[in-house]
Amino acid sequence: MDEAIHVIEGALAKAKEMIVRVSVAVIDVGGNLIAFTRMDGAAPSTAIVSQGKAHSSAMFGRTSGDIQQRVQIGSAPTTTVMAAAGGVFVPWQGAVPIFRDGIIEAACGVSGATSEQDEECARAGVGSIPGLKPER
């Protein structure tokens, strides 16, 4: 939990630097919310979207942007995954998996700015802790 909070603080620092308002979520590989915050002024919808992006990234061990490029909305495989995930699968750029020693532990999802800025904030959060990486 302490590391998840630190990841969120790192992501928020980047968002403040970029002058954007976001929500940040850290989800474990089981899909459980570890830590979450929504900045003052961030749209309410960013809360669920940040968690969905993180959930998707944790589920597949990839950035949500990579997942976005691979899925075909409306296709049978994508529809099946979305249904099986209980509606929390959000394949939009803005989340990165969190690896330690090559093993996925969690994911950080951000929503509220552009997709690229969201991912930049998530990467900054994960990069704020030595030993954690957004890729294997």
| pLDDT per residue as tens digits for the range 12-35 | 999 999 999 999 999 999 999 999
pTM of the model: 0.91
Enumerate long-range contacts of 79-82, CB under 8 Å, 24 or more apart: none
| pLDDT per residue as tens digits for the range 79-111 | 677 666 666 778 889 999 999 999 999 999 999
Provide CB contacts within 8 A for 117, sequence distance 6+.
15, 18, 20
